[in-house]
Amino acid sequence: MIRTGDEYRDSIRDGRQVWVDGEKVSDVTSHPMFKPIVDVRARIYDLAHEAETQKVMTYADEETGELNAIANRLPKTQQDWIDKRAAVDLVQREAGGVVTRVGDETIGEMWSLYDGQDVLNEVDPRFSENIRRHISRSIKADPFHVSANTDPKGDRSKAPQDQDPDMLLHVVRETDNGIVVRGAKYETAAAYSNQAFTKPTIANWGNSELSDYAVGFVMDMGSPGLKFISRNGFASKSPSADYPLANRVDEVESLVVFDDVEIPWEDVLFYRHTKAAGFIRSTLHRYSAFPFVQRTLHLADLMIGSALWNVKQTGLEKQQAVQEKLAQLACYRETINAHLTAAIAHAEPSPGGLLMPNQSLLYTGRVTALTQLPAMMHIARELCGGQICITPDSATFNDPEVGSWLDKFYSVNENWVAEDRRRLLAFARDLLNSDYAGHRLTFQLFAQSPPFAQLGAVYRNFDWDGPLDLVKSAADLSEKVNGSR
């Protein structure tokens, strides 16, 4: 089924405990720091119902004919991935900026666990049944599904049991109904989502004493005992005319406190099973990295558009030096596009019978997109020029006493009048120079994993045998060297 935007809004009016900017929030759907992004997520739901966009956002169940969200469909063919990519493109255009944690990226982490059912069956067949049921529910009930990965961690030089044990989420006891967990997680969109796949941060599970921390489950975000302590958002701090992106697409992170929260057995996906925890950490992004990298492609398009319009308005686009910088941005954009396209063209069957993007191409594309992003933002900033940091705000442009002077000096010709230039400079500033822009950059760099972990994924998925065999043959090495592989 597909929900409406209003049904989504109603679903998060469940009495959850949320704090932001030093106040307790009674309704996240109407609070000024949450409302804009809640409206974006509601709009995504409504796109699935509107005649002009329904075909892109949905597919018909083969057995029942019921419409479901294309984002939640298990990917089994290349066309499934092409359809998913088209839906994400539509969402980004409708949002008028970049939105990442809106469900289609994080649901892919569940598919990684679907691939690990054999691992789950080693500890308890119920857990494999649970994952299949939750994936079915994600398709049929259409919840806003997010992730919960990052613990506070505390002193990383010490084991969890050698400090405050709550620095990593862990099980404190079992009940007849399930397990009780304590700790905390950081997560984007947690305060206004329906559920989260909650799992460990730890990657090295060699210590059996950590088994209480080896737990994964689907968390109902309206559960008793959850507390959402959110960072103060960028929305509503300044007029949207001056900071259009901050007021439209700011995705708010929260520290989610688990104050002895009971998780029903039917929602537990693995427990006291370090092998399962290790598997999910090593395969977590085999699907979700694709829509994540696609966001960086959209960000590249926004940078190119902002830079090119800025040089066009002052007649600089014909200068060779300017074209050279624009070409660098275009190369960056097309490199990301090539990785995404090739990852689907060379997609691979997964252990669970799904179709996953080519892992080496996908992970190298992620590293390329993110490591070059700061430099590309700098190039776009250079092309936009210093006016993005010195232009007065919209209220001053409308001031009866000085507005005429700004109209005079910001108008270039009949095609570029002051108001259009002000709007363009305000957009570029919010994309490249504002507090929101700095937050977006840091989010892109770390949202899925830190840079060293992204390179680790490349190392684990690249086919090293090809280059080794090539040089073994070209250098006429003996068979003895194969013993060192």
pLDDT, position 207: 59
Q: Label residue 431 by pLDDT band (50, 70, 90).
A: very high
Mean pLDDT confidence for 144-169: 85
CA 128 to chain centre: 26
Mean pLDDT of the chain: 94
Whether 404 shows a pLDDT value over 60: the answer reads yes
Closest CA to 102 of 53, 61, 58, 147: 147
- Tell me the per-residue pLDDT of 6-19, one tens digit each, with 9 for 90 and over: 999 999 999 999 99
Query: Is residue 55 predicted with pLDDT exceeding 90?
Result: yes
Q: What is the pLDDT of residue 202?
A: 65
Q: Judge whether residue 430 has pLDDT over 60.
A: yes
Q: Measured between alpha carbons, how far is 248 from 43 in angstroms, rounded to an integer?
A: 12
The pLDDT of 219-236, averaged and rounded, is 96
What's the rounded mean pLDDT across residues 40-66? 96
Q: What is the pTM of this model?
A: 0.95
Among residues of the chain, what percentage have pLDDT more than 90?
84
Question: Which residue bears the tokens 């006291």?
Answer: 272
CATH code assigned to 284-465: 1.20.140.10
Say if CB 394 and CB 439 are below 8 A apart: no
Cβ atoms of 148 and 199 within 8 Å: the answer is yes
Q: Is the pLDDT of residue 204 over 60?
A: no
The two tokens of residue 386 are: 């210093």
- How far is the C-alpha of 448 from the C-alpha of 187, rounded, in Å? 11
Question: For the ranges 238-252, 261-275, 345-359, which has the lowest average pLDDT?
Answer: 261-275
The per-residue pLDDT for 213 is 86
pLDDT at site 122 = 76
Q: Are 422 and 457 in contact (CB under 8 A)?
A: no
Give yes or no for residue 209 having a pLDDT over 60.
Answer: no
- Least confident span in 51-55, 312-316, 331-335, 417-421: 312-316
Banded pLDDT at 279 (limits 50, 70, 90): confident
Query: Can you read off the two tokens belonging to residue 228?
Result: 């959402």
pLDDT recorded at residue 124:
77
| Domain ranges for the chain | 5-276, 284-465
**In this predicted structure, what is the pLDDT of residue 208?**
60
Higher pLDDT, 465 or 165: 465
**8 A C-beta contact, residue 344 and residue 82:** yes
Q: What is the CATH topology of the domain spanning 5-276?
A: Butyryl-CoA Dehydrogenase, subunit A; domain 2 (2.40.110)
Q: Which of 201, 131, 149, 123 is nearest to 352 (CA)?
A: 131
- pLDDT given at position 231: 96
Per-residue pLDDT at 206 exceeds 70: no
Q: In this predicted model, what pLDDT tens digit does every residue of 291-346 receive, in sequence order? A: 999 999 999 999 999 999 999 998 999 999 999 999 999 999 999 999 999 999 99
Per-residue pLDDT averaged across 22-36, rounded? 97
